Amino acid sequence: MKLNNPFIQAIGIIVMLAELPENEALKSRELSKRMNVSHSYLIKVAKKLKDADLINSTASKSGGYTLKKDIDEITFLDIFDATEGKQSFIDGIDSTPIDSMFLSKEIVKEKRERIHEILDEAEADYRKKLSRYTISEAVPRDEQGAILQIDWKKVISEM
């Protein structure tokens, strides 16, 4: 399994939004500039996060993206599902190469099912592990444990 860019970008988006001072928002152009990613691609990733109810999007002069949930409520699985979907890893997989390794139909059926069981179990373990961790673990904090507040608009304007 390979992690895709949307998942990693989504983590970056959520961490940046978590660091914003209260009542601040970031526009897609600001996010894409700071993250050094395609603006159009970032918009697609942000839409997935919005559709998953992880972020808000406000269209106005002072609008932009903000977090919809507390960072202690957003798991890595939430982000993964938002960007990669909930479809099983093996959905749509072509088993022909595996099937061709065996001569009897009974063995083909038995071994294909066993391989799918192993992959399903691995996926369940992966998803369970992602569900254990919240994005708050990726958000920087000061010595007192408060989230570091970053004026991203200023940082980005100085780039």
Contact 54, 68 (CB under 8 A): yes
Averaged over successive runs of 10 residues, the pLDDT of the chain (159 residues) comes to 84 97 93 95 97 94 92 97 89 79 85 90 95 96 92 89
> In this predicted model, what pLDDT tens digit does every residue of 75-85 receive, in sequence order?
999 999 999 98
H/E stretch holding 132 reads helix 105-132
- Quick one: pLDDT at residue 93? 78
The pTM of the full predicted model, rounded to 2 decimals, is: 0.87
The topology under which CATH files domain 5-158 is Arc Repressor Mutant, subunit A (1.10.10)
Q: Where are the domains of the chain?
A: 5-158
Query: How would DSSP label each residue in 39-72?
Result: HHHHHHHHHHHHHTTSEEEE-STT-EEEESS-TT
Q: Would you say the C-alpha torsion 132, 21, 51, 85 has a positive or negative sign?
A: negative
